[in-house]
Amino acid sequence: MTTRIRSGTRKNRPVEKRGGEPAAGAPASLTVREIDVLRLLSRGYTYFEISKQLGISLHTVTSHIKKSYRKLGAHSAAEAVTRAADLHLFDQTKDG
């Protein structure tokens, strides 16, 4: 009996921003949108305020933050923001 292994599953795909482009030089593979969300989080915006600022749903903000935490190995907003800043991720995209 042969077991087939599926390649290219969702977990194995490279992370890309909307439009298919990866975040420019992001060592942690964060998308541009995830970086934007973290930048606003670092400025003290609430999830609701971030959703309004970026024109996305509250659920999408939460999803971006969860993915960012996982990619950065963070367990809190402060830790995620600190790691993103240490990786100079906020310097790589426009300052919104």
Summarize pLDDT for 70-91 with one digit per residue, the tens: 999 999 999 999 999 999 988 8
Q: Tell me how many degrees the CA angle 6-33-89 measures, rounded to the nearest 5.
A: 100
Residue 90 has what pLDDT? 87
Instruction: State the CATH number of the domain containing residue 59.
Output: 1.10.10.10
Q: Is residue 15 part of a domain?
A: no
Number of domains in the chain: 1
Predicted confidence (pLDDT) per residue in 1-49, tens digit: 554 444 444 443 444 444 444 445 545 689 999 999 999 999 999 999 9
Domain of 58 in residue numbering reads as 29-91
Q: Is residue 33 part of a domain?
A: yes
Q: Which pTM value belongs to this model?
A: 0.68
Residue 12 has what pLDDT? 37
Q: Is residue 50 part of a domain?
A: yes
Rounded CA separation 96/76 (Å) = 23
Residue 15 has what pLDDT? 46
